[in-house]
Structures are given as structure tokens and as C-alpha cells.
Amino acid sequence: MINLPPSKLPQVGNSIFTVMSQLAQAHGAINLSQGFPDFSCPPELAELVGHYTRSGYNQYAPMAGLLQLRQQISKKTKLLYGVAPDPDTEITVTSGATEALFCAIAAVVRPGDEVLVIEPAYDSYVPAIQLNGGHPVFVPLTLPDYKIDWDLLKARITPKTRLLILNSPHNPTGATLSSQDLDILTQLIADTAIFLIGDEVYEHMVYDGQLHQSLLRQPTLSSRSFIVSSFGKTYHATGWKVGYCVAPPALTQEFRHIHQYITFSTTTPLQYALADYLQNTSHYLGLAAFYEAKRNLFGSLLATSRFKILPAAGTYFQLAYYGNITAESDVIFARRLTQEAGVAAIPVSVFYHNHQDHKVLRFCFAKNEETLRRAAEKLCSL
């Protein structure tokens, strides 16, 4: 009998997304918990995938990604943010944004380094930090608007601080960074050696006429940043697991050292199809209006409920305060909501390392109108 060594992640079990989706399936509930659409990717894009699969484009792609795709990413970045990263030295295609986040963390974090994590936080950050010997230092967003307290963040910076992870538009809250936030950040890190990760997978989902404030807009910030995005989020195809990272040449070189030994390359026919489809800008340029309409519909449908809808400036997630319904913890209420009301949501406390419970649930509104109407009817009956 061989004894297993101690776990590197002893606190990690099944993610809340797996748990809630399984619970929704078991009870026949409407799944507004896990963040994926219940509608298909653009038919033209699906046809391109089939075309390239049938045409024999099924062998390994280059480690850094198909050149045609990296070129199109550069053109898109120029159109949106005014900068054109070099496809050869500054863009890497990855097997999903989660892989890109891990590679970026592994590229710069060494044992004993501290990493600033803004909470509530996407659940892949902390395990990646810990697996690379780093120590997460948590900075909570201020309620009720979920903004960054820059004075608090400044106070958490020490000589050991190696990296700051920023997520905008922010999962799970839907909050977004402003241009003023970027100005403050620029001044804050000017005399430090801190690297940045910009988790910008919801970059095309910013509402109410606002612009996405990518770290790429600020040369001082982009010069020390890994910018991560996701084709799965943009094209309603989360199961494809295709993302990418934009970073300066020196950071990209180290990033690729990690990437080549994790996945090496990403699914080839998908890359060819995306390279072709990216030439049509109308999809991603129209995505904000598409999802803003869904946000507005879901909010209006819940207007007569006992939930309090919180502002959602971006992403396809809607937070709702339920303290007027019950004093139960968000984990218990989310389970009961799934089992008894037939709607699955995510308790926001799971995005905090210390499980702060503010009586808030996260709903995904990336669903067909009929799905949202049926879910809202059940929620309004509480």
C-alpha cells in the first residue's frame, strides 16, 4: 500500500458550480448558476468549424497559436483599444482563459511571493497562486457598489508583493473599472515591481454606454500586464475552451515556457474557424447591446419580486439581495431555492476566502428569453 503525499490543495473539493449544476439536474431546476448560455454559437462559426474539421485541419497547431488567429487578435485589439500587439511575440492562444490565468501566475510568482486578490474572486486564482508557492493577500471590494478601495489595496502592498489580479468586468458582481481607476492604479504601482493580470474575459459585455477599460489602454500598465480574454465567452461556446493572452515580449516568453508544457497547443480547427470569423466585427461589437437587453429583461421580470436587484455594469451575471425573503445563509438558501423553487443560483459567499455572507445570490442571464421568463416567474412566487 503506497501512502499518498499530503495534498497541495487540501481545502479544495468539488467546485460550487459543479455542485449547483448537479443539484439543478437532480431536481429538474432551471440552471441560472453556472455561467454558460443555453443558446448556440453563431451558425456561420459552427459551419466554419465543420469545414476545417472535414478538410483535414486536425493536427497540432503551433504552440503559440495559429498565426492567422494571432493576427486577427492583433487587429481586434487595435480596433478596440488603439494598440496592435505583435502576433509573433505578444499574443498566445491558450486552451481556455483558465489555462492562460494559470500560466500567467506561474510565469511570475515564486515561493514566498504575495499576490493581491480582490474579493469576491473567481475561484481559480487562489489555487494557482498556492500551487506556485505564492501567498494570496485579500482585498475586499466595498459594498454595496463593489468598488475597489484603493487606500485599502495600497495598505496591503508590501516588499513581497509580486502580482495584482484585476478582473473587469468582474465575476461575480458585474462591477467594472473606470478610467479613473486605471489612473489611480498607474500612480499606485509606479515605483513598484508589481506585475498585473487583467482577467478581461467579459470585455465585450459592458453596458449603459460605457467603454471597457482594458489595461491595454494605459501603456504604463500594459508594459507589466498579462491580459487574458476568452473566445468561449464572446461566441457562446464555453465548451470550446479557447482563450488567449496578450503580454509584452519578455512576459510572453516566460508565459510560453509554462504554456508549452501544460497544453502545448489548442484545438486546430477551432483556431482556423475563429481566425476567419473574427474578420466579421459585427458579432463582438454588438454583444454589449445583446446582453444588455437580457439584463434589462431579467431585471424587469424580477421588479415585483422580493429580491433586490443590484447594479450590473458588465458580464452576464446579475446579483440579487434576498435578505427580505429569509435570514438563511446564502449556501442554504441557494440549495433550497434549487430544490423547492426550481431555480439554481450561486451563493456569493463562495467567492470569499472567509465565506463572507451578505445574503446575495448570483444569477446568470445568458439564457433564452423563455428561460428567463420561467425562472423569474418562480422567483417572484417566493
Confidence check: pLDDT of 368 > 80: yes
Residues 80-103 pLDDT 10s: 999 999 999 999 999 999 999 999
> Could you tell me the pTM of the whole model?
0.96
Residues 48-59 pLDDT 10s: 999 999 999 999
Q: Which three cell numbers stand for residue 94?
A: 491558450
Confidence check: pLDDT of 38 > 90: yes
Contact 177, 280 (CB under 8 A): no
Confidence check: pLDDT of 65 > 90: yes
Q: How confident is the model at residue 16, as a pLDDT? A: 78
Q: What angle do CA 61, 67, 73 make, to 5 degrees?
A: 115
Q: How confident is the model at residue 10, as a pLDDT? A: 85
Confidence check: pLDDT of 13 > 80: no
| Sheet containing 317-321, strands listed edge to edge, beginning at the edge strand earlier in sequence | 308-309, 317-321, 360-364, 346-347
Residue 106: pLDDT band (50, 70, 90) is very high
Contacts of 347 (CB under 8 A, 6+ apart): 16, 329, 330, 331, 333, 334, 357, 360, 361, 362
If you average pLDDT over every residue of the chain, what do you get? Answer: 96
Confidence check: pLDDT of 355 > 90: yes
Residue ranges of domains in the chain: 16-37+286-380, 44-280
Residue 15: pLDDT band (50, 70, 90) is confident
Q: How much is the average pLDDT of 271-285?
A: 97
Confidence check: pLDDT of 14 > 90: no
Residues 297-307 pLDDT 10s: 999 999 999 99
Confidence check: pLDDT of 236 > 90: yes
Q: How much is the average pLDDT of 183-194?
A: 96
Closest Cα partner for 125 from 190, 234, 198?
Answer: 198
Task: Identify the architecture of domain 16-37+286-380 in CATH.
Answer: Alpha-Beta Complex (3.90)
Name the percent of the chain lying above pLDDT 90: 93
CA distance 153 to 306: 34
For 165, what's the count of Cα atoms within 13 Å in the CB-facing half-sphere?
33
Q: How confident is the model at residue 20, as a pLDDT? A: 86
Confidence check: pLDDT of 323 > 80: yes
Task: Identify the architecture of domain 44-280 in CATH.
Answer: 3-Layer(aba) Sandwich (3.40)
Residues 113-123 pLDDT 10s: 999 999 999 99
Distance from CA of residue 244 to its chain's centroid? Answer: 12
Q: How far, in Å, are 51, 143, 154, 253, 350 from residue 105 at the CA level?
A: 36, 28, 21, 14, 22
